A and B are shown apart, each in its own frame.
Chain A
Amino acid sequence: MKKYMKPRVVGSSNVH
């Protein structure tokens, strides 16, 4: 079994 983590959006950045 894998160690659990909360599902999250972890990073957002501008492409341009």
Chain B
Amino acid sequence: MTFLQRNPDIVWRHEKRREEQVLKEMDAGKDVEERGTVILLISGMMHQLNLLGGMIWNLCDGTRTEEQIVDCLLKEFDVERNVLAADVAEFIEDLLQREWLIYG
């Protein structure tokens, strides 16, 4: 019961071209924290996740624990593990409360 998975009732899309653009802008030193790279459609509302949120969302495929997700992201981002782990925990807790993520 520790593997995280997306609620199968949610329609969503990974905007890969937009993500590529966001990564380019990030390399150019721009602030891209507010840019959405994953779109979720839930009961008449459209929600967007930023780059980190979208990467976590993509990793929640039912094969990984929270700790494994932190390990994946730690390889890609310049961040202390304890900072990343706290942010990931907070984000996942929020999405579990919204029932966007579930334990599978």
Q: Across the interface, which residues of A come within 8 angstroms of B87, CB to CB? A: 6-7
User: Size class of B's contact patch?
Assistant: 20 to 34
Q: Across the interface, which residues of A come within 8 angstroms of B53, CB to CB? A: 7-10
Q: How far is the CB of B56 from chain A (nearest CB, A)?
A: 5
Q: How far is the CB of A7 from chain B (nearest CB, A)?
A: 4
On whether the beta carbons of B88 and A7 are closer than 8 Å, the reply is yes
Q: How far is the CB of A6 from chain B (nearest CB, A)?
A: 5
On whether the beta carbons of A12 and B50 are closer than 8 Å, the reply is no
On whether the beta carbons of B49 and A2 are closer than 8 Å, the reply is no
Bound-complex Cα distance A13 to B52 (A): 20
What is B's interface to A at a CB cutoff of 8 Å?
Answer: 23, 26, 32-36, 41, 44-53, 55-56, 76-79, 83-84, 87-88, 91, 94
What is A's interface to B at a CB cutoff of 8 Å?
Answer: 1-16
